[in-house]
Structure 1
Amino acid sequence: MRKLSVRATVVWLGACTALFLLGGCATASESVPKASGASSEEVPTFTGPWAAEFAENYRQTDDETARTILAKESITDADYSEISDTFVACMAAKNFTVTIDDEYGAFTVTNSFDGEDPVLKAAYTACTSGFNAVSGLRAQMLRNPERLDENTIVAACLVKKGLVDPGYTAKDYARDLEDWSFPFGHDSMKAGECFSDPLELNNRAG
């Protein structure tokens, strides 16, 4: 049986730096597709470093489980487990078996291999709004809890790992990112580590 593995959420890291080694890129707006019944009314007041993202994700989903989680302005392991279970159950009701692959929003549809299947697409649209809203933001928060400047923290990591000169700055990184003119190879594992975990928090990634 073939399996369809899907990255349900795209963690937008400034300018798709997390996808550096994969050769792909997506826009921030792709992380939380707007649900048909989503509303901008009665959005809670958020105040933390990720306040804008909490508000936007709350607006973009009509999933009540996701909204309850987001309203707390925190996403615990239990919250992620709950929204994952809700997503899996929703897909099961539509005859698709889903397994959650990691803590960052990746999942596998075990009884499908055609991402263009209209039935799968319809199920995905109906079931992923809440899951995406929570898992995508959680992944970003695990990587950069205080929402520090992306260019600054990635540049500092590249310096620390010896991939660039000690004087390399956030401005240099932003310049190199524009046309992928980095002074190291695109397959550099150390660079990939800086893009995925610039603060070296490990983020419990296996």
Structure 2
Amino acid sequence: MPKSKPKAGLTEIGVKYLFLFGSMSLFLFLTACSSSVDVSRQSVTNLESGMPSFSGPWAEEFRTRYSLAPTPEIQSFLADEQISEIEMQAVTEKFRNCMQGNQLTFTSFDVGGGFDFGFPETMGASTANEIADRCSSTSGVNAIIHLYYQLRSSPTNKDRSEEIVSCIIRAGIVPSNFSVKDYRTYPITELALVDEATAVTAVQFCEADPSGTFVG
């Protein structure tokens, strides 16, 4: 779930984290089939559901994200199993406009697809989080942004767990005996040696760039 970390001052800051949506249910978009449909297109589109027949290394994730797409435009961004920088920027601007239109400030996404935002002190964290969640959904952020960074980090969807764990250990946020099993089994907040926000940010960094070095 998204988390909010308010800070004292005239403007409070909400911190949001985006994670994989692998456990979310798929909602099929049913379309009518016609006898005149070009058979050659059946390998591209699932005619029963209207969802493209994703088959690449990130196919399952694309199916999940396609089901989250709020508009045909966002669906089209996903249909070719690629997300371009232009498409990512288009979604970012939609999100920024939604946030600004609701008195929230947003600058950019981090390397893992997470983001922070500011909101008026009089609004309160709960209301601000609800607005940010709504903007994430309606602008296509939930369908596009985190997957965009995943594709950049690992185009072939290679299991990089060992590299990620090494990066997390280098960041100094977990004990040196932190293992791949720990990474896959426990929320990072249960084993972290630092505060929750730093731990989550470090993991996002390492998942996006396992060969890098996180500096908190």
Within 1, Cα distance between the matches of 2:202 and 2:57? 23
Tell me how far 1:135 sits from its aligned partner.
0.9
Tell me how far 1:59 sits from its aligned partner.
0.7
- In the other structure, the counterpart of 1:138 is 148
**Equivalent position amino acid for 1:141 in 2:** L
1:157-172, aligned counterparts within 5 Å? 157=167, 170=180
Q: Secondary structure of 1:136's partner?
A: helix
- In the other structure, the counterpart of 2:76 is 68
Alignment RMSD (CA, Å) = 4.4
Within 2, Cα distance between the matches of 1:77 and 1:152? 28
- In the other structure, the counterpart of 1:2 is 11
Unaligned runs of 5+ in 1: 13-26
Contact kept? 2:164, 2:210, Cα under 8 Å: no
| Identity fraction in percent | 19
TM-aligned CA distance change 1:50 to 1:2, over 3 Å: same
Contact kept? 1:99, 1:110, Cα under 8 Å: no
TM-aligned CA distance change 1:141 to 1:108, over 3 Å: same
Rg comparison, structure with higher value: 2
Does residue 78 (structure 1) correspond to residue 80 (structure 2)? The answer is no
**Equivalent position amino acid for 1:64 in 2:** P
Query: Residue by residue, what CA displacement relative to the aligned partner does 1:72-101 show, whole Å, maximum 9, x if unpaired?
Result: 3112221111001112223444x3343233
Contact kept? 2:68, 2:142, Cα under 8 Å: no
Within 1, Cα distance between the matches of 2:18 and 2:169? 26
Contact kept? 2:165, 2:180, Cα under 8 Å: yes
Which of 118, 124, 127 in structure 2 is aligned with 1:114? 124
Q: Secondary structure of 1:154's partner?
A: helix
1:1-206, aligned counterparts within 5 Å? 1-7=10-16, 9-12=17-20, 29=23, 39-40=28-29, 41-93=49-101, 95-103=102-110, 104-111=113-120, 114-117=124-127, 121=130, 123-129=131-137, 130-155=140-165, 157=167, 170=180, 177=186, 186-187=193-194, 196-197=205-206, 200=210, 202=212
Tell me how far 1:137 sits from its aligned partner.
1.3
TM-score, normalising length: structure 1: 0.60
Unaligned runs of 5+ in 2: 1-9, 30-48
Q: Secondary structure of 2:97's partner?
A: helix
Q: Which has the higher contact order (CA 8 A, sep 6+)?
A: 1
Contact kept? 1:105, 1:139, Cα under 8 Å: no
